[in-house]
Amino acid sequence: MRKTILLFLLLAFATSSFSQQQPASNLALTQTDYLKKSKKQKTWAWISTGVGALFIVVAFAGGE
């Protein structure tokens, strides 16, 4: 019973945390807003790529 409740709570948390949220207002985004968003996404993509490459290098260097 405890495992079932825990599983249900974890699924509920995962569903709510990955769901899309509705915008607070119906204001349309401008071109500047989209450019800022694009720059931020591109920055995070390069950071993620670098971290992933670092993990791969460490995995190969640390392997026996």
Residue 13 confidence (pLDDT) above 80: yes
Task: Measure the CA–CA gap between 31 and 19, rounded to whole angstroms.
Answer: 25
Residue 57 confidence (pLDDT) above 90: yes
Task: Measure the CA–CA gap between 10 and 38, rounded to whole angstroms.
Answer: 32
Q: What is the pLDDT of residues 14-52, one digit of tens each?
A: 887 776 766 666 677 789 999 999 999 999 999 999 999
Q: What is the pTM of this model?
A: 0.51
Residue 25 pLDDT: 65
- Sequence ranges of the domains in the chain: 32-64
